[in-house]
A and B are shown apart, each in its own frame.
Chain A
Amino acid sequence: MKKITVLIVLILPMLSFSQETDTKDNTIFKQFLDNLSGSLETNGQWYTNDAVLGDFEDPLPEFDLRNEHIRVNSYLRLDYSFLENFTVGLQAESYEPLPLINYYPEYNDTRIATYYANFRNKKLDITAGYFYEQFGSGLLLRAFEERQLGLNTALRGGRIKYTPTDFLDITALYGQQRVAFDVSESDIFGFDTNFDFTKAFEIKGLNRLSLGLSYVGKKEDFTPPVNEFDPENEFDITDFPEMINSYSARVDVDFGNFYINTEYALKGEDVTFIPPALPGDGILEGKYFDGNALIFTAGFSKRGLGISNTFRRMENMTFTAERNAKDISSTEFQFNMQNLNYLPTLTKQQDYSLANIYIYNTQPGLFLQNFGGQAGEIGNSLDVFYNFKKGSKLGGKYGTKFTMNFAYWALLDAEFNQTESTYNAEFLKFGNRLNRDINFEIRKKLNKNWSSIFTYINTIVDKGVALGGNLGTDGDIKSQIVIADVTHKLGSGKSVRLEGQHLWTKEDKKNWAGATLEFVASSKLAFYVTDIYNYGNEIKEDQNHYYNVGGSFTKGATRVALNYGRQRGGLLCVGGVCRFVPENTGLTLNINTSF
């Protein structure tokens, strides 16, 4: 496979250059190129030793031994379409000589990672090879790619989508989940259908009334573990869930200004794991538990005002391609690999650096034997968007945009009998609080050349969630953050942006201050310098600056960004998926282009 990649990579550019020299005899080749599209993303980093933070160290001992300071992750995607309805494509990925730190260690080579062939017309969409998919809100199935986190859960197999009319669609799929350059040792089956009543029966006065139903099945063989201390003792495999059948139903109603989206999922019985510190064979014998989730969003919006509230309850909803990825001591669990479904954290996703220090992480799983036991999560998130009109008292000349978010998340209230390995969870009862978040954002254009964004965040995050450990019992981290972000236009595409941030907390590493200065020279070229400073840290030696300087150049479909600086350690979360990242210092180069 490697050789093929190299060959393709070598030959195609030659062909492409030759096209330049030959102008008349190139119709076939030109046509070939017209039908070809693709993109390249390259993220390289040179990790340097830091006099203050210490020498570069890879958290994985086997990688650390190789002492590679320069690492490059690259993704090349090619799609070729022909005969109107057909497309073929592939994605080659390269992690050389090793992946960037904190990537799943099996991303460690240069290979063709995914490939597919697709036929699509008005009614049919057939794919063989690797494909991405999401059923409903993803409570049971989401195959997706998130390069920054090293996640790619594409399925390898086949999928048929059939849309006979504009009010009905049906999807059936089979596949094995991609796991780095391999696939899972399990088979995934899926079926999904959506029916739109408004279109089918031409209902007046209703923008939308639709029903969706999904099924996801997972089949994985099981070899019973042998008890080291008692090899005679056989693992009882009666009722063992090799096949897990899961179902979900959803209804979306939209009355115009008012709308409701709701989905309920029932996950079939699956195993739980005994924590490594306790005696046992890993998998709990003879006790299997099903899971469920309910998500309910209601919103009201009209011009100038938007309100949306989402309630979600999840009990034992971790659903992985291979059961071992549910074991918290597995590498796959630690790197968030092999998730079949998508259960994002529903707090507001913040852009500013200090707002990403103490953040909440969703807790969907069942852990029967860990600490006091935990069964899942329950909570609510409310958003309000309001526009003070131009000319009004608060709106001023340009109007003022106001955003508010309130979120509250808690453990499911449940009782655990750890000697019997059973539990009982309440349906709508909040257990210990894990997170409470109130934040406001005001955007105001002051005059033709000045505009500003003010943000206030008041958060309470459970210590167990933010720093690791038992959940809901070890106290909280309360913090407040104020951010002012001001942009001044200098004319002819130039502008300056200044951002000041401050975080107050009496816990953990105490107060932080931060600032960013950005200079935009044109729509193509920008530079910035930023620093966050943990001046409140009680340990004097740890009162660190995390500075960064960099710039970016954009032209057409190509963007190049260069950055030097220190990255703060901590939980790295994108789209609700998080992982611990150690501090590091270095030079980063990102190149993206598409064609």
Chain B
Amino acid sequence: MKHFIRLLVFAISFTLSAQESLPTTEIKTLDGTTTSLQEISKQNDLIVVSLWATWCVPCKNELDAINELYTDWQDETNVKVYAISIDDSRTVSRVKPLVNGKAWDFDILLDTNNDLKRELGAATVPLTLIIKNGKIVYRHSGYTPGSEDSLFEEIKKHS
């Protein structure tokens, strides 16, 4: 118990200075090309990243909700959304048909052995990030109905 309290105090003291720089961890596109969060953010000033999985109901709810608004978001802010699947080899073959079946318009990336998930310290999915000029400026875990609106408010702040 003592250890636990020490750990807690320790971690909380660090949250005062949250991580800003981007992981260079390798992730793959659907056609097998290797890239990383850092590289993606070099190509775009403002991106939204959502860590999701085919078996995660709230993740799919979030991405369905964003997909409906995506065209409007892009018209207004030039934001680009990347949906990074953490499906491992149990379910990764469902990613491509699911994305097409749902007619999502995002760029899809794969983190099959969860290296990026570990590096971002995401204990649960969905995890949503806003990345502006290579820095994480907003972070939220979990999805609740309607939180896509507050996400867009945040996006507008940074656009």
Q: Show the binding face of A for B, using Cβ within 8 Å.
A: 6, 9-10, 12-13, 16-17, 19-20, 30, 33-42, 44, 70, 72, 74, 76-77, 79, 81, 92, 94, 96-97, 110, 120, 125, 132-134, 137-138, 142, 144-145, 147, 163, 166, 169, 194, 196, 207-208, 210, 252, 254, 259, 261, 297, 299-308, 310, 342, 344-346, 348-351, 383-387, 398-399, 401, 403, 443, 451, 453, 485, 487, 489, 491-495, 497, 520, 522-523, 526, 552, 554, 556-559, 575-576, 590-595
B88 interfacial contact with A, CB 8 Å: yes
B40 interfacial contact with A, CB 8 Å: no
* Contact for B141 among A35, A443, A554, CB less than 8 A: A554
**B80-107 interface (Cβ within 8 A of A):** 88-91, 93-94, 96-103
How far apart are the CA atoms of A16 and B18 in the complex, in Å?
Answer: 12
Query: B118 near A196 (CB under 8 angstroms)?
Result: no
Query: B17 near A96 (CB under 8 angstroms)?
Result: no
Given A72-B4, A163-B34, also A558-B113 (CB < 8 A):
no
Query: A304 near B93 (CB under 8 angstroms)?
Result: no
Query: B19 near A489 (CB under 8 angstroms)?
Result: no
Task: For the complex formed, measure the closest distance between the CB of A507 and the CB atoms of chain B, giving whole angstroms.
Answer: 26
* Contact for B18 among A77, A125, A557, CB less than 8 A: A557
Query: A97 near B118 (CB under 8 angstroms)?
Result: no
Task: For the complex formed, measure the closest distance between the CB of A71 and the CB atoms of chain B, giving whole angstroms.
Answer: 10
How far apart are the CA atoms of A297 and B21 in the complex, in Å?
Answer: 37
Task: For the complex formed, measure the closest distance between the CB of B155 and the CB atoms of chain A, giving whole angstroms.
Answer: 14
* Contact for A97 among B1, B98, B101, B102, CB less than 8 A: B1
Q: Which of under 10, 10 to 19, 20 to 34, or 35 or more describes the interface residues of B?
A: 35 or more
Residues on the B chain within 8 Å of A345, using CB: 90
Query: B14 near A38 (CB under 8 angstroms)?
Result: yes
How far apart are the CA atoms of A496 and B114 in the complex, in Å?
Answer: 32
Residues on the A chain within 8 Å of B119, using CB: 37, 79
* Contact for A254 among B31, B64, B93, CB less than 8 A: B31
B69 interfacial contact with A, CB 8 Å: no
Query: A556 near B139 (CB under 8 angstroms)?
Result: yes
How far apart are the CA atoms of A509 and B87 in the complex, in Å?
Answer: 32
* Contact for A559 among B9, B10, B142, CB less than 8 A: B142
Query: A308 near B1 (CB under 8 angstroms)?
Result: no
Residues on the A chain within 8 Å of B11, using CB: 38-40, 76, 593, 595
Shortest Cβ distance from B68 into A: residue: A398
* Contact for A16 among B13, B68, B103, B141, CB less than 8 A: B13
A-side interface mostly: strand
Query: B113 near A144 (CB under 8 angstroms)?
Result: yes
Query: A385 near B88 (CB under 8 angstroms)?
Result: no
Residues on the A chain within 8 Å of B94, using CB: 308, 383
**B133-149 interface (Cβ within 8 A of A):** 139-142, 144-147, 149
Query: A523 near B113 (CB under 8 angstroms)?
Result: no
B20 interfacial contact with A, CB 8 Å: yes
B124 interfacial contact with A, CB 8 Å: yes
Task: For the complex formed, measure the closest distance between the CB of B86 and the CB atoms of chain A, giving whole angstroms.
Answer: 11
Shortest Cβ distance from B129 into A: residue: A557
Query: B96 near A557 (CB under 8 angstroms)?
Result: no
Q: Show the binding face of B for A, using Cβ within 8 Å.
A: 1-4, 6-21, 24, 26, 31-34, 54-57, 61, 64, 68, 88-91, 93-94, 96-103, 112-115, 118-124, 139-142, 144-147, 149-150
Tell me which of B13, B16, B145 has the highest count of chain A C-beta atoms within 10 A of its own C-beta.
B145
Residues on the A chain within 8 Å of B12, using CB: 593
Query: B114 near A145 (CB under 8 angstroms)?
Result: yes
Query: A401 near B118 (CB under 8 angstroms)?
Result: no
Query: B140 near A554 (CB under 8 angstroms)?
Result: yes
How far apart are the CA atoms of A37 and B6 in the complex, in Å?
Answer: 18
* Contact for A207 among B2, B6, B31, CB less than 8 A: B31
Query: A144 near B101 (CB under 8 angstroms)?
Result: no
Pick the 5 closest A-B CB pairs, nearest first: A385-B101, A39-B121, A306-B97, A594-B121, A344-B90
Shortest Cβ distance from B98 into A: residue: A385
Given A94-B4, A557-B18, also A575-B93 (CB < 8 A):
no
Residues on the B chain within 8 Å of A559, using CB: 123-124, 141-142
Query: A134 near B13 (CB under 8 angstroms)?
Result: no
Given A77-B121, A252-B32, A558-B15, also A387-B7 (CB < 8 A):
no
Query: B142 near A9 (CB under 8 angstroms)?
Result: no
Given A76-B7, A557-B141, also A17-B147 (CB < 8 A):
no
